[in-house]
Amino acid sequence: MNIKLRTLSLLVMLFVGTGFVEAKKTIYSTPVTKKFTFTSTPEGAKVYYEGRVICPSTPGEAYISCSGVITPDKKNLEESINQAICDSRLTFTFVRKGYLKREVNIEPTITPVKSTYKFDWVPFVECELQKDPKFE
């Protein structure tokens, strides 16, 4: 019995290793690190991502880990891709004293590459801040 179990495990590893196993849900690749450039009007805003300051003053740059490639569920391709876009959305918060804080969401565009889909990220994030009425 132990030999049968080992043989079965070996066959499963072979099928998985050769790519014969069809994905039953969307599979995300290892994240990639992308450079984003931040600008604001007026300049001098801090940019936060996931509660951390990533850019102490605009204009500036930061490197962010984000989705790079997915292998979508083939049975629900469109739904799977749309869900991957939503799941991968990045939210940046711009803050400057005397102005209302503002969140900017960016989503990737997805390009088919063989049996996977590649995420393309816009490298520039712009924000126009409005004066806070309390400071006028």
Express each pLDDT in 11-22 by its tens digit: 444 334 444 334
- Does the residue 80 lie in any domain? yes
- Does the residue 50 lie in any domain? yes
pTM of the predicted protein model: 0.76
- Does the residue 84 lie in any domain? yes
Specify the CATH number for the domain of residue 106.
Answer: 2.60.40
Compute the average pLDDT of residues 87-108: 95
Determine the 3-state secondary structure of 124 from DSSP.
strand
CB atoms within 10 A of CB 85: 16
Domain with 108, as residue range(s), is 22-135
Alpha helices in the chain (DSSP H): 2-18, 77-88
Alpha helices in 19-126 (DSSP H): 77-88
Average model confidence (pLDDT) for the chain? 82
For residues 59 and 54, give the distance between their C-alpha atoms in angstroms, rounded to a whole number.
12
Express each pLDDT in 103-125 by its tens digit: 999 999 888 888 888 989 999 99
Beta-carbon contacts of residue 57 (< 8 Å; ≥ 6 apart)? 43, 44, 45, 46
